[in-house]
Chains A and B, each alone.
Chain A
Amino acid sequence: MKRSAEKGIEFGLAFSGLITILTTIGIIWVLISESWGFFREVPLSDFLFDTEWTPLFSQKHYGILPLLSGTFLTTIIAIITAVPIGIIIAVYLSEYAHKRFRRNVKPLLEILAAVPTVVYGFFALTVVTPFLQTFVPGLGSFNALSAGLVMGIMIIPVISSLSEDALYAVPKSLREASYGMGATKFQTSFKVVVPAASSGILVSIILGVARAIGETMVVAIAAGQQPTLTLDPRQAVETITAYIVQVSLGDVQHGSMEYKTIFAAGITLFIFTFLLNNISFWIKKKYQEKYE
């Protein structure tokens, strides 16, 4: 009697675990089945090489390149902002800062990560863009630069906290050997500790990139909704995520071409983040083996 109850409970628990697998299967199935319909009407070569994305106009083009360029432009700006600052913060907190400073500052940095992204979008649109307009000529009220910068600020905690963990895990003996050779703290940090933690830092950067690619609200609010194939950060661009939001705001009928386009855009986004995530897992695994 008791044993069967135990079995029942175990089964219930296992089923809950199974839901995570079902979620993944669901995501992949939904993306593939809906974009299947899309690719039956649009040849893959058009999707990959056409330079215009105008599914909402009467003259329809289905080239993903403008959305990709918008996504990469904002992501690159975010990464250029977040990586140096994130790593400097990580090195400072791990190698230089007093324990107490570290203990007080870390929760504050965590708050940066807890702020809802729609709030960052507001910040980009109403504070950063007007500020940038005072010295960047030709900056539109919607632009990739401001959205990218704010996304960078948002990603700083991701990079700083993961990098700091990696730096912290470097054995003390390495630092002591370096000091013993007469190196300064700066030399030790950047020539010994950072290289030793490089794979962990790389993981933090990759996860930062994945986060930036998938970020939606900041770019939907501040970067604009015009799919333009450009690398000029002063222009309005549209990212993959912003396009999905733009279509979802309207009333989309299931089975319509617009409905299918958001899944085609979605599967493109999913492939990129899936690859980045798994590269980071792979690096992490290799790195852990090295230290154990």
Chain B
Amino acid sequence: MSNVKRNRNIDTAFKYVGIFFTLFGIAVLFVFIINILIDGLTRINWEFLTNLPSRRASKAGILTAWTGTAWILALTALIAIPIGVAAGIYLQEYGRKNRIARIIELNIANLAGVPSIIYGLLGLEIFVRLMNLGGSLLAGALTLSLLILPVIIVATREALKAVPNSLREASYGMGATKWQTVWHQVLPAASGGILTGIILALSRAVGETAPLIVIGALAYVPFVADSPLDEFTVLPIQIFNWVSRPQEEFLVNGAAAIIILLLITFVMNGIAVYLRNKWQKKISW
């Protein structure tokens, strides 16, 4: 009898342990955000957003950093979206189930597991040096595009997979070609899922630091880039630079820049989650 009781107690105890640790993860997130808000919120003002970097913490701003991030975001989207979606379509709609298809699949899974800093080494050698792009926005965007390509491809394939075959067959039945079917029927039906994946992938690109440091993005860029071939910095690199300094005032600057970066990441993730929910609700094939 006491054995039964003990087992029941363990059961109840685990329930609380489970709640505790689940909430622990979330509590850490909150501690963390509140801490950063306390550190950095008072530092954010119009000058902080519109000032160039400076050796003096009180005068330093993030103008070059956030414009650099915007540039990188736009260029990466331009490069990675068409290639990623096209590759996803090919693998899901055209690809045959043979050995090559399996190799490509395994390859994409492997690429997804390659540490981001290795992509930086790839970009350094290929884009910066061989293609002679230097530490430019274009070199950075190309590097990040390769990094997020697997994410976009996998998301595209998942979304296409969810489209029922009857839709394709109806389209073929009307005499449509394969591409007409994909372009006019399958792709629109899968667009919600694809868009979600794209936004999540881009939000990852916005937060990446290491590969851009490796290709030579600079922390100190005294001008706003106006062409893809200009040198650049981005928010995460600016944050890294400020956080690496011993002075307290620069840490405050770092916290303030983190607030801006988190704002961008959370808004992008929020949009993605919203789209996903909306898309999942709409679909009742």
Whether B122 contacts A20 by the Cβ 8 Å rule is no
Residue with the highest number of chain A CB atoms closer than 10 Å, among B83, B125, B150: B125
What CA separation (Å) do A9 and B251 show in the bound complex? 52
Q: A residues engaging B (CB < 8 A)?
A: 2, 5-6, 9-10, 12-14, 16-17, 19-21, 23-24, 26-27, 30-31, 34, 85, 88-89, 91-93, 96-97, 105, 107-112, 114-119, 121-123, 125-127, 153, 156-157, 160, 184-187, 189, 207, 210, 213-217, 220-221, 241, 244-245, 248-249, 254, 262-263, 266, 269-270, 273-274, 276-278, 281
Whether B19 contacts A269 by the Cβ 8 Å rule is no
Whether A14 contacts B29 by the Cβ 8 Å rule is no
What CA separation (Å) do A89 and B23 show in the bound complex? 9
What CA separation (Å) do A91 and B269 show in the bound complex? 26
Chain A contact surface mostly: helix
A-B residue pairs in contact (CB < 8 Å), sample of 18 = A16-B82, A16-B90, A17-B104, A20-B108, A85-B25, A89-B18, A89-B22, A92-B19, A92-B22, A97-B18, A185-B14, A210-B113, A213-B115, A214-B116, A216-B115, A217-B210, A244-B214, A278-B110
What CA separation (Å) do A245 and B240 show in the bound complex? 11
Residue with the highest number of chain A CB atoms closer than 10 Å, among B22, B203, B210, B261: B22
Given contacts A116-B209, A216-B209, A241-B115, contact A263 B104 (CB under 8 A): no
Write the chain B residue with the least CB distance to A88.
B21
Q: B residues engaging A (CB < 8 A)?
A: 7-8, 10-11, 14-15, 17-19, 21-22, 24-26, 28-29, 31-32, 35-36, 39, 82-84, 86-87, 89-91, 94-95, 104, 106-111, 113-122, 124-126, 129, 146, 149-150, 153, 177-179, 200, 203-204, 206-210, 213-214, 216, 236, 239-240, 243-244, 251, 254-255, 258, 261-262, 265-266, 269, 273
Q: Which 8 A-B pairs have the closest CB atoms?
A: A214-B115, A92-B18, A116-B207, A16-B86, A13-B90, A277-B113, A216-B210, A16-B87
